Structure 1
Amino acid sequence: MMVSTDKTVLFLMGPTASGKTDFAIELAQHFSARLISVDSALIYKDMDIGTAKPDANTLKKYPHHLINICKPEQSYSAHDFVLDAKAQIETAFDHHQLPILVGGTSFYFNALEHGLSNLPESTSASRQKFNQLLQDKGSAKLHQDLAKIDEKAALRIHPNDSQRVTRALEVFDLSGKTLSELQGNKKPSINYPIKKIILMPERSELHQRIEARFLSMMDNGFLDEVKHLKQNPNLNEDLPSIRCVGYRQAWQYLNGEIDKPSMIERAIIATRQLCKHQSTWLNAEKDALIMTKPDVKKAVEFIQDNSKT
Structure 2
Amino acid sequence: MANQKLIVIVGPTAVGKTSVAIQVARHFNTEIISADSRQIFRELTIGTAKPDDLELAQAPHHFINSHSIKDAYDAASYGREALALIHELFKNHQYLVLCGGSGLYVKAVLEGFDDIPEVPDEIREQLTANFEKHGIEWLQDQMRQLDPEHLAVIDQQNPHRLIRALEIKIGTGNSISSYRKQSKLEHPFEVVKIGLELPRGELYRRIDDRMDQMIAAGLFEEAKELYIYIDHNALQTVGYQEIFDYMDGKYDRDEAVRLLKRNSRRYAKRQLTWFKRDEETHWMHPQDIAGILKLIN
TM-score of the alignment, normalized to the shorter chain, above 0.5: yes
| 1:36 and 2:36 correspond | no
- Paired with 1:16 and 1:146, the residues of 2 have a C-alpha distance of 24
Task: Give the AA of the match of 1:279.
Answer: L
- CA positional deviation for 1:157: 1.4
Change in Cα spacing, 1:26 to 1:180, as seen in structure 2 (3 Å) is: closer
For 2:129 and 2:282, the matched residues in 1 are separated by 43
Change (3 A) 1:63 1:190: farther
1:275 aligned onto 2:272: no
1:255 counterpart residue number: 248
Shift of the alpha carbon at 1:196? Answer: 0.7
SS at match of 1:300: helix
The alignment covers a number of residue pairs equal to: 293
Once the two structures are overlaid, the 10-residue window that deviates more, 164-173 or 120-129, is 120-129
Alignment partner, residue 104 of structure 2 = 107
Counterpart for residue 70 of structure 1:
67
Amino acid in structure 1 at the alignment position of 2:262: I
Q: Structure 2 unaligned runs (5+)?
A: none
Residue 29 to residue 181, structure 1, CA distance change in 2 (3 Å): closer
Is structure 2 residue 184 aligned with structure 1 residue 188? yes
Please say if residues 168 and 178 of structure 1, whose CA atoms lie closer than 8 Å, have aligned partners that are also in contact. no
CA distance in 1, matches of 2:90, 2:58: 20
Q: Which deviations, in whole Å up to 9, do the C-alpha atoms of 1:278-297 show, x marking residues without a partner?
A: 11222222132211232222
Is 1:178 equivalent to 2:178 in the alignment? no
- Secondary structure (helix, strand or coil) at the match of 2:34 reads strand
In 1, Cα distance between equivalents of 2:47 and 2:177: 37
Deviates more, 1:120-129 or 1:264-273: 120-129
CA RMSD of aligned residues (A): 2.7
1:1-309 equivalences in 2 (<5 Å): 6-120=3-117, 130-146=127-143, 151=146, 153-158=147-152, 160=156, 162-172=159-169, 176-179=172-175, 183=179, 186-191=182-187, 192-230=189-227, 232=228, 235-236=229-230, 238-304=231-297
1:6 to partner: Cα distance:
2.2
Helix, strand or coil for the counterpart of 2:84?
helix
Q: CA deviation at 1:127?
A: 6.0
* Deviation of the 1:154 alpha carbon: 3.0
CA gap of 1:122–1:89, structure 2 versus 1, over 3 A, is: farther
Query: Following the alignment from structure 1 to structure 2, what is the Cα–Cα distance between the partners of residues 105 and 185?
Result: 18
Could you tell me how far 1:111 is from its partner in structure 2?
2.4
CA distance in 2, matches of 1:181, 1:90: 26
Structure 2 SS opposite 1:195: strand
- One-letter code of the match for 2:203? L
- Normalising by structure 1, report the TM-score: 0.84
Contact 1:253 1:260 in 2 (8 A): yes
Q: 2:176, 2:18 → 1: CA distance?
A: 34
Give the Cα separation in 2 of the matches to 1:18 and 1:100.
17
Cα distance in 1 between the residues matched to 2:121 and 2:56: 34
State the alpha-carbon separation in 1 of the partners of residues 177 and 253 from structure 2: 44
Distance 1:89 1:287, change over 3 A: same
Deviation at 1:48, TM superposition (A): 0.8
Task: Tell me, in whole angstroms, the C-alpha distance in 2 between the residues paired with 1:5 and 1:33.
Answer: 16
Partner SS for 1:50: helix
Identity of aligned residues (%): 28
Q: Is the 8 A contact 1:92 1:98 kept in 2?
A: no
**C-alpha distance in 2, partners of 1:181/1:17?**
26
Deviation of 1:112 (Å) = 2.5
Provide the rounded CA distance (Å) in 1 between the counterparts of 2:150 and 2:39.
25
